[in-house]
Structure 1
């Protein structure tokens, strides 16, 4: 049984947070990220993999746009993982993932990821618990490989949204013309499986935590964007990067 209880972790910002002040701080961090990403690309020693997971409507797309949208597109890739294709089904579950890990100098974003193979697959009982346990071990090995063999720093974010906020956002997809394109007929079906998804997320976070998870309160987009931007900024700063000199 998982020791993590997502129901005991707040989905809203801490008390006393000033929305406008936080938004201004995020804006400054995003400016700095542009320079840090340029350094990362130029130095060509490190790479970063950002894994975004969360319930439907937790705001993964908007987060990518707000935090990474100003970066040089030559140095940032985004991959959204949907259901596996027929070709992908012919291989091990990590085959389609490994092809998209970042090269040195790059930031790679996974909008959903290898974790779908121990989340939706378990919720719908397409795999059993024994298979899930093997996959979780494989995920730990895979993430260790990236970290140790390619100097890849992995940042994993679980965007922690409440069931009430999810319902509100899914309803907006039916009513707001600017958001209708996001509507999927399966949304309502998946939303009814909230408790099952939460249980599987708790299990994934508990058992695949060699690379730690950042559980980000996601009911308020302005706070979610700040946390992710700050975490990425601090990570890139820690590399102590320098522009290469002219080759002699």
Structure 2
């Protein structure tokens, strides 16, 4: 990637970044309908470019086998997480990308610390892991519904009013530990407006093939809109760090949200700058010997090296 491209991507995503240490009020600070003066017809080409860059960088990430990337996607119901994953990751090698969704914790998971089940799904070196909802559920859903905290059976000294401040600190420390060990944490919050959520819910009800995506629980959670907005703001304020900043992506326009998500992920890979391994002198000698042997095996009338001949042609 050219330096000019890199600077352009960094400038594009800068308005989405939550400055570490800042206080976030979603309603005041981030517009769900922001689109950076782009038009939808321009968006398709930009997304194709982003998907192509992701494929290129993912191949290098896997070949280098030194760094891993964790992408955390958070959003309120109907925020567009599934569609974002499907479109943004459409060009990458599926062997190197692993998606995990986290539902209600099982009895086994509740018998461990709250980060245990997320640690099991972290990426290996060379891989990209995507958390469709993530460990941040532990300071969002659990905060809005404190009865879930009771189910975790915390000891008395771990409870109290400071439990959320403590969890923010623990999550920040955990993410710093991952980054220090070569695993970059990319955090995207898809910022959906209340009216757009209403529209998307109605679409799920109006189209029979979408009915399965709707449940009565969605409406119950929608009634807690203000509680969730407060929890989101607190989360973004407390856990956007220099080593793992949050990006608030406007989600009312799906096409623009996907461009932004691709740009944030490309920017992270660009900073890692993975490279294909350099072959040493001994290995190059072995490769030349293998090439000569394969060329000698060419059938009569066939090119000794069809690939090289095709390139010359």
Is structure 2 residue 139 aligned with structure 1 residue 118? yes
Question: Alignment RMSD, CA only?
Answer: 1.5
- 1:212, 1:238 → 2: CA distance? 14
In structure 2, the residue matched to 1:239 is: 272
Higher radius of gyration, 1 or 2: 2
Task: Tell me if structure 1 keeps the 8 A contact 2:35–2:250.
Answer: no
- 2:100, 2:75 → 1: CA distance? 15
In structure 2, the residue matched to 1:89 is: 110
In structure 1, the residue matched to 2:258 is: 225
User: Unaligned regions of 5+ residues in structure 1, if any?
Assistant: none
Q: Partner of 1:49: helix, strand, or coil?
A: strand
Larger deviation: 138-147 or 24-33? 24-33
The Cα shift of 1:73 comes to: 1.0
In structure 1, the residue matched to 2:35 is: 14
Task: Tell me if structure 1 keeps the 8 A contact 2:96–2:128.
Answer: yes
Report matched runs for 1:1-248 at 5 Å.
3-8=23-28, 9-14=30-35, 16-126=37-147, 127=149, 129-149=161-181, 151-210=182-241, 211-246=244-279, 248=283
Task: Tell me if structure 2 keeps the 8 A contact 1:122–1:129.
Answer: no
Task: Tell me if structure 1 keeps the 8 A contact 2:188–2:246.
Answer: yes
- 2:34, 2:237 → 1: CA distance? 23
Larger deviation: 91-100 or 23-32? 23-32
Task: Tell me if structure 2 keeps the 8 A contact 1:47–1:106.
Answer: yes
The alignment covers a number of residue pairs equal to 246
The Cα shift of 1:15 comes to: 5.6
The Cα shift of 1:143 comes to: 0.5
User: Unaligned regions of 5+ residues in structure 2, if any?
Assistant: 1-21, 150-159, 284-313
Residues 157-209 of structure 1: per-residue CA shift (max 9 Å, x gap)? 01000000001111111111232221122000001100000101111111112
- 1:195, 1:234 → 2: CA distance? 32
The Cα shift of 1:91 comes to: 0.6
